[in-house]
Structure 1
C-alpha cells in the first residue's frame, strides 16, 4: 500500500495570505547647514525607493524633520505626527538610518521603542541592523549607550544598570569563546 504525501510550501503560502505591511521612514538632520540639505534629500529619496521596492510593503510615507535636534520630541512636528499615525494603526514598520536619527535621548528612545513594540510596530534601525520586534530592549539599550551625544542624557542608575547588562553579555561571550577554544 503506497501512501502519497503532499508537500506544502509554507513560506509561499504564508506570503500569499499575509497582509501587506504599511511602512514609513523617519529621517532627520539636526542643523540647517547647507551641505546637510543634500544629505537630507538623499535620505528621503533612498527610503522612498527602498520601501517601494520591497514585496509585501506599502509605502506609508516619509516623516522628516529638517534642522531639528533629536534630543527632545518637542518641536519635531513630523516625529510627533508619525507617533500619532502609529497610535491610529496606520503604520506597521518604521525604517530609520540609525538609533540617533530617531531619538538622541536615551530615556526617550527606550520609552518610544517600548510603546511602539507594545503596539506591534517594528522599528528598523538600518545602521545597527536592529528590528525592535526581534530584539530585547536590553540589546537596544546597549546600542543606545554607544551612540554619540546620548550619554549626557543618562541618569546615574540607568548607567549602572547598563554596565551590569554589558558585563553579563561580555562574560557570556568570553565564556562561549573559552568553551570553543577548549
Structure 2
C-alpha cells in the first residue's frame, strides 16, 4: 500500500528543467520529501505503538477486556500522532498553499498571497523554543497590514535540518507555484 503523504512528486527529483512538474494541479502535494528527523521520530512512535498493541493483546488474554480497550485506545492515539507528524509541512496546489501543523491546518488561497520569499532570520530549532540563525520561507498575505505568519519552511525544522540544498529546492518549488498562480 503506497503512502502518498510520504512521497513528494517524483518529477521534482528527476526533471530539474521543469519548474512545476505536475499532472493534476488541483491535488494537494508536498514539493519535498519529509526529512529524516520527522520520519525517524514517527518510526519510533510507531515502534512504541506496536509494543503497546502487543501489551493490549496480553492484557485482553489475562485480564479484563476494558483494560485492554484502554491500552488499545492509547495505541490508536499513538498511531494517529505518528501519521499526523508525517503529514506536517507545506502543501501546494492550484488553490493555494496549506501549512499543516500538528494540531491545525491553515490554507491560504493564492489570491490572498502578496509574496513568497526566503529571508535570513532567527528560526526555531526542530520546533523547540531555542532559536538559531537560519533561512525561512515566508508567506506575506495581502491586506491592510500585509501580515506575515509563521514560516512555511525553515532550514532548521525536522524536514531540512542539515539539508540546506533540499531546503533551497523546496523553497524554489513553492515560490514557483506562487509565481504561477498568485495574481500580481
TM-score class normalised by the smaller sequence: under 0.3
- Which protein has the bigger strand share? 2
- Which protein has the bigger helix share? 1
Name the TM-score, length of structure 2 as normaliser. 0.23
